[in-house]
Amino acid sequence: PLPGVFEIDPEHLWKTFVDTIRSAIDAASLHASDIKTLGISTQRGTFTTWDRSTGKVYHNFMSWKDTRAEGLCHEWNKSLRMMALRLSARLLHWVTRRPRFLVASILRFEPGLAVMRLLWVLQNIPGLQEATQAGKVLMGTVDTFLLWRLTGGKVHATDPSNACITGIFDPFTVRKVQANLLIGRLLRTLLFCLSCFSGIFGHADSKILGAAIPIACMIGDQQASSFGDCCFDEGDIKCTMGTGTFFNVNTGSVPYASTSGIYPVVGWKINDVVTYLAEGSSYDTGTAITWAEELGLLKEPMESSTLATSVPSSNGVFFVPAFSGLQAPVNDAYAASGFLGITPSTRRGHLVRAILESLAFQAKQVYEMMATEVYVAPTKMRFNGGVARNDFLLQLMADMLERPLVRAKHHDTSALGAAFLAGLALGIWSSTDELKKLRQDGSESEPSAERLAAYRPVFEQWRRAVKRFLHWHLPKAAP
């Protein structure tokens, strides 16, 4: 509704969630009692707060893309308290060589971390702080909220794959971050009372779905899509192109520590073995295409591929997709979005092609950064997500990344991953080898050395264009 404000109506989400489950059961000509288990995959880092007695929400879901806490982050990052924390972590890493201290030594709060947006709502939502002090408030990311509602208010829980993105839980220890002592006692009263892996989280209230269906998995969307794409082995890599672009590489049983902007996330746990993923991302993939549609450049998203191929090049036009700033390896929260190189001969196709090219160029930067730091298996890279259906973009990605890509037959692999994990938890499948036999691949894209050679100077010029948009916005003052 306003610049920097990204929200979801909790009641609309809840109704859509329940209606979708009921419709799926009806479409399969089943009864709720026929369903063995439910698995829930959700976007990560988006949260709301609600009254623990009535269930009434205090505000809309505050999305992971919301930037209203930017001023708070800036204030905290330059504080003496954070400087002391980073210095202590640097010393501890020098003494112990433990990776978690290396990450803590460069810790900076960002609006994408739920912990900072939670502080923002406590300071800005009327009555919320007082209600929290009175012990009336629960906080939860999307998975926690849905689980609490689905179990009739009996279970207030999350899992580590969602929790490790919030800034509240430590992916290295899979426990609450002790550094939250910095944030304050008030915030800690809101935190989830339970954190576990796939298993029985609870049972759906029979009044809601018609049967007490066991809920055997909750998992973040990116980890779920990795699992749905069967990235079970160390070095397996997938790329999800949806609202943002997310690369995830399986790093086995060891979380990867980086100072460049790659971050470790908890993937899943099977037979008491935790699998970790290294994640690199850019935030404005689907956002840029939706913006182009709203601007009138597109009638619908899939038209972008047709328009991009209607012209031989972007005719010297470049686009920088930085509605949410620029992530690693650039790391500039204050970058701006925009076009460069527009002339009287610029047409709609040139603008749309420049947008799609910028998404591939961003992905190339992220992938090359990851490939130099973590082991990536020399196998076909797996792609999923709604934007991955764009033929022009996927071929350009294959060319720029210089490796063959395979598209998932069904782009919503996060839902498949949640189903796989729930089924494993209940013994419907006994191993990941069984799951690999169920994987269905779609079309493949092979890289072209000729196209890569033609695009190399275009990519370098785009990198120069990016520099023109850096540090454009001033840091917002804390409220």
Closest CA to 448 of 407, 408, 404, 406: 404
Tokens 């601007």 correspond to 295
Tell me 217's DSSP state: E
Contact predicate 353/341, CB 8 Å: no
Q: How far apart are CA 472 and CA 470, in angstroms?
A: 5
For 76, the 3-state DSSP assignment is helix
Tell me 257's DSSP state: P
Tell me 29's DSSP state: T
Tokens 């609600």 correspond to 50
- SS3 labels along 318-352: EEECCECEECCCCCECCCCCEEECCCCCCCHHHHH
Pairing of strands 47-51, 137-141: antiparallel
Do the domains spanning 7-11+34-69+111-212 and 225-479 agree at the CATH topology level?
yes
Contact predicate 32/21, CB 8 Å: no
Contact predicate 392/305, CB 8 Å: yes
Closest CA to 149 of 195, 200, 201, 198: 201
Contact predicate 317/341, CB 8 Å: yes
Phi, psi of 334, deg, nearest 5: -110, 15
Q: How far apart are CA 36 and CA 34, in angstroms?
A: 6
Tell me 474's DSSP state: P
- Homologous superfamily, domain 7-11+34-69+111-212: ATPase, nucleotide binding domain (3.30.420.40)
The pLDDT value recorded for residue 92 is 86
Q: How far is CA 311 from the centre of its chain?
A: 33
What are the domain boundaries of the chain?
7-11+34-69+111-212, 225-479
Pairing of strands 405-408, 441-445: antiparallel
Q: Indicate the length of the chain as a whole number.
A: 479
Q: What helix, strand, coil percent values describe the chain, rounded to 5?
A: 40, 20, 40
pTM of the model as a whole: 0.92
For 248, the 3-state DSSP assignment is strand
pLDDT along the chain (479 residues), means of 10: 87 98 96 96 96 96 92 87 84 82 79 90 93 90 96 92 85 62 56 61 96 96 97 96 96 86 90 92 95 96 96 98 93 93 97 98 96 90 95 97 94 94 94 94 95 97 97 75
| Distance (Å) of CA 5 to CA 67, 391, 454, 461 | 7, 32, 39, 32
Assigned fold of 225-479: Nucleotidyltransferase; domain 5 (3.30.420)
Closest CA to 128 of 67, 60, 59, 183: 59
Would you call 180 exposed, middle or buried from its count of C-beta atoms within 10 A (0-12, 13-18, 19+)? middle
Q: What is the DSSP string of 10-61?
A: HHHHHHHHHHHHHHHHHHTT--GGG---EEEEE-SS-EEEEETTT--BSS-E
The pLDDT value recorded for residue 184 is 58
Q: How far apart are CA 101 and CA 257, in angstroms?
A: 9
Instruction: Output the six-digit token pair for 227.
Output: 């699992």
The pLDDT value recorded for residue 179 is 45
Which distant-in-sequence residues (6+ apart) come within 8 Å of 3 by Cβ?
none
